[in-house]
Amino acid sequence: MRRFFIDKKQAEKAEQSGMIVIKGSDVNHIVNVLRMRAGDCILFSATDGREFEAEITVSGPDEVCAEVRNVKLNTTEPAVATVLIQGVPKGDNMVLIKKKSVELGVCGILPVITEHTVVKLSPEDVLKKKTRWQRIAEEAAKQCGRGIIPEVFEPVAFKKAVSQRPEGELKILAYENEENNTLKKVLEKAGGSYRGSVSILIGPEGGFSPEEAEFASGCGFEAVSLGKRILRTETAGIAALAGIRCYFED
């Protein structure tokens, strides 16, 4: 069933009235792109974990109305909330990283500007990119059946991002110079029943400087190797997230 997202207010209205009314860009997608009509069913994901199965009653140019048929709880969200802290890469690699990390269950993507970040972003670029990245995250979330749209944050300076992570979070630094510790060891130390959050820090093309690695370690990030080969920045996050999902089986 096709999936769309509704906000808290729409979910409350749906609960009270049994109806969901969609306006804005989703109308074009539903009516003109998917050509859905009265009688077709849509799954609406609310941000509180509920999902509303609803049947379209009105499929007009400006709005779509649907009658709620069933309410259930989302079952596709991972049990362990994971944030990808990603050194901003060159070109369009961030788009690939967004899409794949949403599929791999991240709840947020925090782009960071590091010493070796090549891309220079003006405030206008930041705004444009954030809007585009958020749209990409939403499309990926719809496609893979997520219960939420993962949050895409504005790029921030490395030190700020790293020093402001919540206490108690399992903080992991993917570091190609780490020789002994591995992702597997760190996850095993946390244990399969760990239900806190995890953040995974990935460097840009040029990697982290030794000073950055040391700073992250001072902020509680544990350096891990992701194997004997140097992975491209767009591969490293995907590989680490797949490892995390696989370990927690979520």
Which residue stretch of 74-82, 141-149, 172-180, 241-249 sits at the interface with ligand SAM (rule: CB under 6 A)? 172-180
Name which of 246, 247, 224 is nearest 236 in CA terms.
Answer: 224
230 binds ligand SAM (CB under 6 A): yes
Q: Where does this chain touch ligand SAM (CB under 6 A) — which range of 13-21, 128-136, 159-167, 222-230?
A: 222-230
C-alpha triplet 93, 98, 102: angle, nearest 5°: 150
Q: What is the maximum alpha-carbon separation in the chain?
A: 61
Nearer to ligand SAM, 54 or 187 (CB): 187
Work out whether 227 is an interface residue with ligand SAM (CB under 6 A).
Answer: yes
184: Cβ–Cβ under 8 A, 6 or more apart, which residues? 243, 247
* DSSP designation for 143: H
| 35 to 64: interface string for ligand SAM, x by CB under 6 A | ------------------------------
Left (φ > 0), alpha (ψ -120 to 50) or beta: where does 208 sit? beta
Helix axes of 233-248 and 183-190: crossing angle, nearest 10 degrees:
30
Instruction: Compute the chain's Rg from CA coordinates.
Output: 20
Contact region with ligand SAM (CB under 6 A), list: 8-16, 69-77, 94-102, 229-237: 229-237
Q: Which of 26, 103, 138, 176 binds ligand SAM (CB under 6 A)?
A: 176
Q: What are phi and psi of 86, to 5 degrees?
A: -115, 125
Per CB under 6 A, 175 contacts ligand SAM: yes
Q: How far is the CB of 222 from ligand SAM (least distance, A)?
A: 12
For residue 232, state whether it binds ligand SAM (rule: CB under 6 A): yes
Q: Which residues contact 182 (CB under 8 A, 6 or more apart)?
A: 224, 225, 226
Is 29 or 245 the residue whose CB approaches ligand SAM more closely? 245
The conformational region for residue 91 under phi > 0 = left, psi -120 to 50 = alpha, else beta, is left
Q: Does 205 bind ligand SAM (CB under 6 A)?
A: yes
Among 107, 162, 186, 236, binds ligand SAM (CB under 6 A): 236
Q: Is 231 in the site for ligand SAM (CB under 6 A)?
A: yes
Residues that bind ligand SAM (CB under 6 A): 174-176, 202-203, 205-208, 225-227, 229-233, 236
